Amino acid sequence: MHSTFMGLEIGKRGILAHQTSLKTTGHNLANLNTEGYSRQRVKLSTVEPLYDASLERVNVPGQLGQGPKIQQVERIFDILHENQILSTADDFGYWQTREFYIRKLEMIYAEPNETSVRTYMDAFWTSWQDLAGNPESLAQRNIVIENGKALAEAINHRYNSLYEQRVLLNDAVKVTVNDINKKAEQIAILNNRIVLSKAVGDDPNDLMDRRDLLVDQLAELVPLTVEHRDTDEFLVHIYGRTLVQGELVKPLTMSEIPNDPGMMKVDWVEEDELKDYLGKSGKLYSLIELRDVDIKDEIKKIDTMTINFSDMVNGLHREGVGRGGSTGLDFFTQLPIIEDVNGNYDSNGDGEFDQTYLFRITGTESLSPTQPVGLEGTLTFDGADGPVEVPYYASDTVEKIVERINYANSNVVARLDSQGRLSLKGTMGTSGQYKDFVIRHVEDSGQFLVGYAGLLQASGADGAYDYDQINAGQAALRLNEGVTYAVSPLANPAAWISVNSRVAADANMVAATMRLVTNEAAIGDNRMALAIADLRYEKVMVDRLTSLDDFFADNAALVGVKGSNAQASYLDFDARMKNLNDIKQSISGVNINEEFADLVRFQHGFAASARFVTEIDKMLETIIKLGLNG
């Protein structure tokens, strides 16, 4: 027989169930604007009936229910949709970061603009052209000097801006790594709390929301996947490598990049560099790529342009004559990497010279660009991945061989100078492994660089120029016959280029005239000023581009294309993320109208249960009174 007070118990359970539902609805409404919050629902079920078919029971029809019970406080969450968000977030983070910093790079270039390097370069060439029109003018020489100073300062400013941008990106890498580690630690702490809560039968919905929010934020920084195990263990992987496993964290570490002072690479404990496992996605990879590829490449370009530009202007200016008969002066400063005039360098710091660092070597013979050489052989230079061979044939013209050298992807570029002599120049070093602007190896199996261009003393490996020895120029080059060379410059010439202080102090030293036998300047001779002005259009091979004008046009166009692509991709992934988050909000977000409807529904349920208890209480009171009076 069931209890006399069973009705009170049923009513009480109804009150408590609806009271919990009301509190859950209030919790939803209170967290309407809480980031990462997923709405919750109370799942109600009935308490086991009073009688079970397998047990003895009173002979009454049906099973007598005992009211509701709270089965679970459920979090409305779609794990499949969440995985889709995670798979898109890393691309969004990559392009958002890239778009932001490429826009800053475009601001540095400021092309076209009155303060851009190209504008100052144009003014510099124009001033030489104007000097050619009035070669005796002191005022025009002063204009050349001032334009040279302005150009040098603009180049310095661009280098400094690019370097500051690279330092800023390096700082951003460090901050992002710390942020990743901090979020990983917070996820591990939440993992532990969630497991403990579930162990005692609780539904730690708010803790799981906080963990999922951290995972969403982490997914924008690095490409990751999550794993839910049956044991309630939660794991976070970066391309299959574990970052978080339960309450354990494998943090990212950093160390300085060799030959790149102050710049930090991201390590994975004691394993390889993490960048190799980021799959070109996520904010962290974007920062590393911008720092070590995009900005570093722009610094390389401005340095390459600067050393080639100043070397060509200086080469002509040294051969010219100023108003007072001065000659042999550089127009721009030249800061060699070593004071040794032969280019001998101590590469390992043991106090002994062991290598030769030459930037440019120029042959003795004046060559015709369109003349077939009538020779066959193979030129060998050093490249990023080892020796680079450049064949030449009897039917090849000089300009064809020069072109083949320039596009062979070695560390050497070639050009014919104003007198038609073959000039070889070292390019930027590769991956920090080599010094910049150092010719490392020049070899010819035939006679093109030997007798024809008048550069090497002998053919074959025995006659090759190789930087990995001292006095390499004296050993391999035809110096006694007039081969000239320039020692490699100090690193980052764009940072220190300036007008020669002697020229800046006396405008008469600006050389506008060709040198005569007597080293005097012929009155009205403007040939040197014209020759320097014409460098603007000459084939100078700056960073494998034909002319200085091509260099600036290519640079501006490339940065513009990068910016356009980054913006388009960012907008695309931004729209995708917005759509995915809108869908997530429709699934897990708090809807005010729906919550208000539930509020009324649960309030009515609570009131009904309370009324039921009141009625049962009245019935019991009547029964008790009857029993006492009976």
Rounded to 5°, the CA angle 566-571-576 comes to 125
Q: For the residues 485-500, what does the mean pLDDT come to?
A: 92
Q: For the residues 488-517, what does the mean pLDDT come to?
A: 90
Cβ–Cβ < 8 Å for 339, 350 = no
Reduced to 3 states (helix: H, G, I; strand: E, B; else coil), residue 213 is helix
Reduced to 3 states (helix: H, G, I; strand: E, B; else coil), residue 391 is strand
Residue 47, CA atoms < 13 Å, CB-side half-sphere: 16
Confidence of residue 557 (pLDDT cuts 50, 70, 90): confident
Q: For the residues 246-274, what does the mean pLDDT come to?
A: 81
Counting residues of the chain whose pLDDT is more than 70, the rounded percentage is 92
Cβ atoms < 10 Å from Cβ of 272:
9
Confidence of residue 617 (pLDDT cuts 50, 70, 90): confident
Q: Is the pTM of this model over 0.95?
A: no
Confidence of residue 124 (pLDDT cuts 50, 70, 90): very high
Residue 92 has pLDDT above 60, yes or no: yes
pLDDT 10s digits, 317-328: 998 898 888 888
Residue 544 has pLDDT above 70, yes or no: no
pLDDT 10s digits, 420-459: 999 999 988 776 678 889 999 999 999 999 999 999 999 9
Predicted local distance difference test score (pLDDT) of residue 301: 87
pLDDT 10s digits, 383-428: 888 899 999 999 999 999 998 998 888 999 998 888 899 999 998 8
Residue 270 has pLDDT above 60, yes or no: no
pLDDT 10s digits, 143-173: 999 999 999 999 999 999 999 999 999 999 9
Cβ–Cβ < 8 Å for 288, 479 = no
How far apart are the two ends of the chain, measured CA to CA in Å?
22
Predicted local distance difference test score (pLDDT) of residue 471: 93
Confidence of residue 217 (pLDDT cuts 50, 70, 90): very high
Predicted local distance difference test score (pLDDT) of residue 52: 57
Structure tokens at 533: 């002005």
Confidence of residue 466 (pLDDT cuts 50, 70, 90): very high
Query: Contacts for 409-412 with beta carbons within 8 Å, 24 or more apart?
Result: 409/383, 409/384, 410/381, 410/382, 410/383, 411/381, 411/382, 411/383, 411/384, 411/438, 411/439, 411/440, 412/381, 412/382, 412/439, 412/442
Residue 306 has pLDDT above 60, yes or no: yes
Residue 126, CA atoms < 13 Å, CB-side half-sphere: 9
Predicted local distance difference test score (pLDDT) of residue 66: 86
Residue 479 has pLDDT above 80, yes or no: yes
Q: Which of 84, 108, 192, 203 minimizes the C-alpha distance to 156?
A: 108
The chain-wide mean pLDDT, for the chain, equals 88
Q: Which of 492, 473, 493, 491 minimizes the C-alpha distance to 483?
A: 473
Residue 540 has pLDDT above 70, yes or no: no
Predicted local distance difference test score (pLDDT) of residue 97: 94
Separation of alpha carbons 441 and 291, rounded Å: 30
Separation of alpha carbons 212 and 237, rounded Å: 14
Q: Where does residue 311 rank: exposed (0-12), middle (13-18), buried (19+ CB within 10 A)?
A: buried
Question: What is the separation of C-alpha 412 from the centre of its chain, rounded to a whole number of angstroms?
Answer: 27
Predicted local distance difference test score (pLDDT) of residue 625: 83
Separation of alpha carbons 3 and 5, rounded Å: 5
Q: For the residues 540-568, what does the mean pLDDT come to?
A: 77
